[in-house]
Amino acid sequence: MPLTEYISALSDNPYFGAGFGLFGVGAGAALLRKGFQSSLILFRRHYMITLEVPCRDKSYQWLLQWMTAKGAKQTQHLSVETSFEQKDSGLIKTKYDFIPNIGTHFFRYGRTWIKVERTREQHTLDLHMGTPWETVQLTAFGKDKHMFFSILEEARQLALDQHEGKTIMYNALGSEWRPLGHPRRKRPISSVILDTGKSEKILKDCQEFISNPSWYINRGIPYRRGYLLYGPPGCGKSSYITALAGELGFSICILNLSERSLSDDRLNHLLSVAPQQSIILLEDIDAAFVSREDTTQQKAAYEGLNRITFSGLLNCLDGVASTEARIVFMTTNYIKRLDPALIRPGRVDMQEYIGWCSQSQIEQMYLRFYDEEDAARHAKLFAEKATQLNPNISPAQVQGYFMLHKHSSFKDVIDNCESLCQSRKI
């Protein structure tokens, strides 16, 4: 669009006075108003470039945040976006971000003034989200598209920096993945104590997988890997997957297969659009399907519970392939209820039992909670006694017991050990 048209369009705009002043060509506008059309000849060769970012695009939120951080301070028309942020201390604080409101704004990027129009359609809905359709349009002088590339790249980088050291959990909403709650502080993998060597074995397998795409591509094998963690409740399956995601720098996409609105098509779509570098987590996979060997009565009990079919799930899992490493984790308390087809190699490449506390696990947990003198000997004595009294204690029970006795003396901790060993399994 030539500059002359652009300036006359601007003069129709309610923000014209302030905006044009900011635009830095106030003098040009004054000349135009006084009829000095010829002075614009100087500008005739200039063109406008525009960039439209619809709300469905991943860059949309990043761009709004970036404008907030960089340019929106110069605008008076703001709207608030409230979020929750977890501090390093673990405390969760409420955070208010002011983002440019619906309307026109101007901000400066380098030496260029940029006009930003954020619009919201009154009559068009984003059908997936049920929210009004929005767009942001950036307009600047010139022909250099690279400025927009660098703005988008800066916006992306800013969003990444904000999540540095955090694990983002995503939830499926409609046909999209949306962040679930606030990004959580990464849980150190060493804080989830599994039986000797298990944690290292799974981590090593994942790392090898991620760092070796060519091995899969050269052999024509889909670049994905499936894991199944099974065992009693409260033994650390979910905690370990969260910690592992943090260690790998991945986010987690949680899928609830029992959700009524989940169809085969939607599942397929969700798996194919999952954010890059994320673990797909299918928790309690036994709750969604029964084994094909189960009786018709058992099957009837499940019938009507969800719309996704077993064969649909198998197809979706087989179809999960991308140039990005795709990792799928499933968890269950009841491995025997799973259909063998679901956990055959190719769909589940590694199965690991995450079970009751071994003596060494209890010792390590003790040492994470207590640091008194002679803690190592106390840990050993406590672990021996606890496992003798009850070999089926979950780490969740041990954690609960230690929290209850965090200020107690060692004598109290070991003397009350019976209450831990009799306590209901968590």
Ligand X SMILES: Nc1ncnc2c1ncn2[C@@H]1O[C@H](COP(=O)(O)OP(=O)(O)OP(=O)(O)O)[C@@H](O)[C@H]1O
Per CB under 6 A, residues contacting ligand X are 192-194, 233-239, 333, 395-396, 399
| CA 154 vs CA 63, 164, 166, 275: distances in Å | 9, 15, 19, 19
Cβ 190 to ligand X, closest distance in Å?
10
Nearer to ligand X, 268 or 394 (CB): 394
Q: What ranges in 370-409 are assigned the alpha helix state H?
A: 375-389, 395-404
Residue (321 or 404) nearer to ligand X, CB: 404
Closer residue to ligand X, CB minimum distance, 55 or 281 = 281
As a dihedral over the C-alpha atoms of residue 371, residue 376, residue 380, residue 382, rounded to 10 degrees, the angle is -20
Shortest CA distance to 253 belongs to which of 245, 261, 243, 265?
A: 245
Residue 67 or 194 with smaller CB distance to ligand X? 194
**Residue 134 or 352 with smaller CB distance to ligand X:** 352
Residue whose Cβ sits closest to ligand X: 236
The structure tokens listed for 15 are: 């923000």
Q: How far is the CB of 402 from ligand X (least distance, A)?
A: 10
Nearest distance in Å: CB 399, ligand X: 5
Q: Of 103 and 400, which has the nearer Cβ to ligand X?
A: 400
Among the listed residues 133, 307, 167, the one whose alpha carbon sits nearest the alpha carbon of residue 243: 167
**Exposed e or buried b per residue across 248-258, where buried means at least 16 C-beta atoms within 10 angstroms of its C-beta:** bebbbbbbbbe
As measured in angstroms, the least distance from the Cβ of 369 to ligand X is: 11
Cα torsion 342, 345, 347, 348: sign? positive
Sheet holding 112-126, edge to edge: 48-54, 131-141, 112-126, 103-109
Contacts of 392 (CB under 8 A, 6+ apart): 232, 356, 425
> H/E element holding 93?
strand 92-100
- Tell me whether residue 67 or residue 235 sits nearer to ligand X (CB atom): 235
